[in-house]
Amino acid sequence: MTTKINKPWKKWLIAAFALLLAGVAIAWYIFTEKFTDTNAVKADYTVNAMDFIKEFQQNTRQANDKYSEKIIVVNGAVSSVEMADTTANIKMTDSLSGSYIIFAFQEQHLAEAKALKAGDKVSIKGSCSGGVHSEILDVDNISFKRCAVNK
């Protein structure tokens, strides 16, 4: 007799508990989600460094629309390795205009950046953050985040 009276409440309780669990699972997923290792992500474009810089110089807005937040493989020669805090950034610079591409590496690939040196021919994959004109340097610069040496 008691069981019959409580049945609707039990159903509500189970449904509420299931909803709560689903909510916790979704929140857990959102809060613990991390970026995938860039080397495991398929590239949207593969470009040559100097052609890439020229594309931004010719039409920055169009190039930003095309490449921003896309995963891109850039092939070129390292012009310099710059220390940034305890990590290293890789630069590919157009010697004529001074414009450059700069790559900040993903945590698990930091050692790859430090192993590179000026003059090395390299293929780097990363997330393009777009290009801007620097007032300080009066050159265009295109920056990348979460980079890895392309394998």
Residues that bind another protein (CB under 8 A): 30-31, 33-35, 64, 68-69, 82-85, 87, 89, 91, 100, 102, 104, 129-130, 132, 134-137, 141, 143-146
Name the pairing type of β-strands 100-105 and 139-149. parallel
Give the nearest distance from C-beta 50 to another protein in angstroms. Answer: 18
Give the nearest distance from C-beta 135 to another protein in angstroms. Answer: 7
Which backbone phi and psi does 41 adopt, to 5 degrees?
-100, 135
Q: How many CB atoms lie within 10 A of CB 85?
A: 6
Nearer to another protein, 16 or 22 (CB): 22
Give the nearest distance from C-beta 35 to another protein in angstroms. Answer: 6
Give the nearest distance from C-beta 1 to another protein in angstroms. Answer: 46
51 touches 63 (CB < 8 A) = no
Distance CA 72, CA 48 (A): 10
Nearer to another protein, 7 or 34 (CB): 34
- Pull the structure tokens for residue 86: 């305890």
Nearer to another protein, 9 or 31 (CB): 31
HSE, CB side, 13 Å, CA atoms: give it for residue 83: 2
Which backbone phi and psi does 117 adopt, to 5 degrees?
-140, 160
Nearer to another protein, 79 or 150 (CB): 79
Nearer to another protein, 5 or 30 (CB): 30
Distance CA 127, CA 77 (A): 19
Give the nearest distance from C-beta 11 to another protein in angstroms. Answer: 32
